[in-house]
Structure formats: C-alpha cells, structure tokens
Homo-oligomer: A and B are copies of this chain.
Amino acid sequence: MHFTDQNISKLDKSYRRNLINSVTGFKSVSLIGSVNQEGITNVAPFSQIIHVGADPALIGVMFRPYVVERHTLANILETQNFTINHITTELMERAHHTSARWQSSEFSACDLEVEYIPDFGAPFVKGALVKIGLDFVERLDVQTNGTHLIVGEIKHIEVPEEVVAADGYIDLEAAGTLTCSGLDSYHKTQRVARFAYAKPNQKLKKLS
C-alpha cells in the first residue's frame, strides 16, 4: 500500500489518526502524574516521550496544542514538575482507563494509588516499578501545528535494583515495562539481541 501526502490529507479522520500514530513504530508508554496549585492530582497515559540528553538528564514529552483544557500540561506549567511511571501488565487496564474524560482525579476514578517522595511535589503511581520525577526546564512550540515539546530534567529515578545491569542499562523487559503502538495497543517484549558498541570492519558482538 502506498499513501502520499495528498491521499493522507483526504483520509477519514479516525483512519488517519490510527495510521499516523502507528507508523512511527513502537513507543514508550507511561503514566504522567501531576498536580495543580490547589493540590488536585492528575494522571494520564502518554506515548510521546523522548530521550533528550544524558548530562544533564533530560526527557521530552510532546503535547497537543494548548487550545482546549489540558490538565497535565496546565499542571506542569503551574507547579513546574511531573512524574513518569512505567506501565506493567498489572497496571495496564487502569492506566488506559485514565485516558477517559473523568471529572475527578483519575487516581481515585481508576483505582490507582498516589505515592509521594520527600521534597518533591508531583504524585507518583504506586505499584509502578520504574518511576521518574522531573522538574520542568523548557517549552518548545512547534510552529507547523501548535504542539508543544515540554522538556524536563530528571530529579529522581526509582527502579528495582535487580533490573539495573552493571553498566547502568535498565532491563525494562525484566521490569515488566510495556511498549505501545498506535493509540490503544499494548505489547510486552522479548529480547532478540543486545550488541556491543559497533566498530567499522569488525563483526558485531552480542552482549546477550
């Protein structure tokens, strides 16, 4: 099948959303926790999460245009921090249900428990095995479509000791972290190979 930009612009809206959201490949999927100045918590699933840098440790999250109420984005700009909580099979259904338009905090609506750590404002998701706490540092606006890349600096990482390899690599598969595709599909993974640093004119070495 061959789609061109002209075809794509004429597709049914829902078909196009599914197609374009799945064409980038498998994605990170995590629950982002935030809170507003009144202390009302919010949690929602995001799959537009990207590594921005290791030193300082920066993560970017892409948000849709801020033309309607977007609680997570509003909260981050208001209270300047947020959390990223990996989704396991056990959390999956409740995590996906937070994407509905709830009137109250998705934590209580979806039977998720809030967890705080000392001296950090944003709420974590209890039961998540890999958890990151971030401070807001920068907002970039995409001119072409009005989306926003929010860049956060990592302040805290909580991860089970047994899934961190000697070289710092987090074995996400061992941590039960899921990946997603499109808008609504969740997948577990099976390692095919891990490679040593690649060099020209030398056969690749597998680490495991």
Contact = CB atoms under 8 A, between A and B. Distances in A.
Interface of A: 1-5, 8-9, 11-30, 47-60, 62, 84, 86, 89, 92-93, 96-103, 109, 130, 132, 137-138, 140, 142-145, 147, 149, 151, 153-161, 164-165, 167-170, 172-173, 177-179, 181-200, 202, 204, 207
- State the main secondary structure of chain A at its contact with B: mixed
A100 to B, nearest CB: 4
A17 B151 CA distance: 18
A190 B192 contact: no
Nearest to A165: B18
A23 B190 contact: no
Nearest to A64: B53
A100 B185 CA distance: 33
Contacts of A149: 60, 140, 149
A24 B1 contact: no
Contact of A23 (B2, B27, B157, B204): B157
